[in-house]
């Protein structure tokens, strides 16, 4: 692999930054310690500008090359953790009960910090590199918040790139694709109202547990029988809350879940059919049901030219045979999609090796990825703005 020598020398330092972030996870927009640490490091590196508070708690660093050039390229990393109790026994295990970096954002942030340090030292490019550290990727829409706060226009970003680790893909490999790459993610909340009563006299009640169970069953027919089999969709009910004791039929029940798709047409279809199925099923049993459908992250679409460029840069780091340019789309969601709606760019996956999966209590970012991902960021800037 063509790892940048200076980056290889920095690997242990970057890993130490990651371990500190891993030990002190923060959620959503409440990433004050993380953001302060990022801002302090960017200032120490000698960035030309360091601006906190973009999108509430995001941090942006500006690094100008030592050659004349007007191109501005943005690189983005996410900073937030997840509300999960860590199962790992590590020297740098989470010190915060119920919170951990179970998605590798500690690694993403550390790698982009490493790239920022290198770029501020060398400045071997013609133009401006903008390093973007984003809060609230895990469901809070921090990417949208930063865009709405003027990220692209304020810093003149013309192209924007993101990267995410990928458990199960060997270290030293990348994956990317044109177009549809990750799904839209919408939330479902279903409030069911029946008639509560004694468990021994169900005929005098309208059982919301039964109604809720039937709604769940019927919802699964939407993907299997309404959506074109050649298109992708997922509807998952993940919460079913009803009742407080074993001899009372509950008056109400609450279901929560998610609906995901890879196209606007299927997204519209899911929303429409969910309303029809939920309300119709409840009516069949004499109950009432209200569906609240909230649209969340949009589909993440890579721009073709920028995806080709990202693949080329990755190939220079690990060799063309280690970059899959037909990486399959994922039903997971990513709020970098908002940035790709605002500017051309691409989102790439980097192998994390044989580790636990994302959002698992035993997951840990693989420090062997650090020189690979950091070298990718460095070469992307130097290649995009070669002068």
213-223 in b/e form (b: 16+ CB < 10 A) is ebbbebbeebb
What are 110-129's pLDDT values in tens digits? Answer: 999 999 999 999 999 999 99
pLDDT for position 341:
98
Question: Model confidence over 71-93: pLDDT tens digits?
Answer: 999 999 999 999 999 999 999 99
Q: Which residues pair with 161 in a beta bridge?
A: 75, 346
Rounded to an integer, the average pLDDT of 238-265 is 97
Give the number of domains in the chain.
2
Q: What pLDDT shows up at residue 387?
A: 75
Which of these three, 251, 276, 297, is where a domain ends?
297
Question: What is the token pair recorded at 315?
Answer: 């190939």
Q: For the residues 247-253, what does the mean pLDDT come to?
A: 98
The tokens 């740098």 sit on which residue? Answer: 92
3-state class (DSSP) for residue 35:
helix
Task: For residues 149 and 243, state if they share a domain.
Answer: no
The CATH number of the domain holding residue 318 is 3.40.630.10
Closest CA relative to residue 270, chosen from 258, 259, 257: 259
Q: How far is CA 125 from the centre of its chain?
A: 29
Cα–Cα distance measured from residue 126 to residue 68, given in angstroms and rounded to the nearest whole number: 5
Q: According to the model, what pLDDT value does residue 126 have? A: 98
Residues 170 and 191 in one domain: no
- pLDDT tens digits, one per residue of 177-197: 999 999 999 999 999 999 999
Check if the beta carbon of residue 149 is closer than 8 Å to that of residue 215: no
Answer for the pair 270, 188: CB distance below 8 angstroms, yes or no: no
Q: Which one of 272, 297, 322 terminates a domain? A: 297
Which residues carry out catalysis?
80, 137
3-class DSSP state of 348: strand
What is the residue range of 172's domain? 5-182+299-384
Together in a domain, 31 and 99: yes
């Amino acid at each position: 692999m063509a790892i940048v020598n200076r980056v290889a020398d920095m690997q242990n330092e970057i890993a130490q930054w990651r371990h500190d972030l891993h030990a002190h996870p923060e959620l959503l927009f409440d990433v004050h310690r993380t953001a302060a640490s990022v801002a302090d490091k960017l200032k120490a590196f000698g960035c030309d500008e360091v601006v906190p508070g973009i999108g509430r708690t995001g941090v942006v660093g500006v690094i100008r090359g030592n050659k004349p050039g007007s191109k501005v390229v943005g690189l983005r990393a996410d900073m937030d953790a997840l509300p999960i109790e860590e199962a790992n026994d590590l020297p740098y295990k989470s010190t915060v009960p119920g919170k951990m970096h179970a998605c590798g954002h500690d690694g993403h942030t550390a790698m982009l910090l490493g790239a920022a340090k290198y770029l501020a030292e060398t400045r071997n490019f013609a133009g401006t590199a903008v390093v973007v550290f984003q809060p609230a990727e895990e469901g809070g829409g921090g990417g949208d918040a930063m865009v709405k706060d003027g990220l692209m226009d304020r810093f003149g970003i013309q192209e924007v790139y993101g990267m995410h680790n990928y458990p199960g893909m060997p270290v030293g490999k990348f994956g990317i694709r044109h177009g549809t790459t990750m799904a839209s993610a919408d939330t479902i909340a279903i409030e069911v109202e029946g008639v509560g009563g004694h468990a021994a006299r169900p005929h005098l009640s309208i059982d919301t547990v039964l109604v809720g169970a039937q709604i769940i069953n019927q919802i699964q027919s939407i993907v299997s029988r309404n959506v074109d089999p050649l298109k992708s969709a997922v509807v998952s009910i993940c919460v079913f809350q009803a009742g407080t004791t074993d001899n009372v039929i509950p008056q109400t029940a609450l279901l929560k879940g998610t609906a995901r798709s890879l196209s606007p047409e299927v997204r519209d279809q899911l929303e429409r059919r969910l309303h029809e199925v939920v309300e119709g099923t409840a009516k069949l049993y004499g109950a009432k049901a209200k569906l609240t459908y909230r649209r969340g992250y949009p589909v993440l679409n890579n721009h073709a030219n920028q995806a080709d460029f990202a693949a080329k840069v990755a190939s220079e780091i690990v060799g063309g045979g280690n970059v899959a340019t037909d990486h399959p789309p994922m039903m997971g969601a990513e709020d970098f999609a908002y940035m790709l709606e605002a500017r051309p760019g691409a989102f790439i996956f980097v192998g994390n090796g044989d580790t636990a999966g994302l959002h698992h209590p035993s997951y840990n970012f693989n420090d062997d990825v650090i020189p690979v991902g950091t070298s990718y960021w460095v070469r992307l800037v130097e290649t995009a703005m070669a002068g």
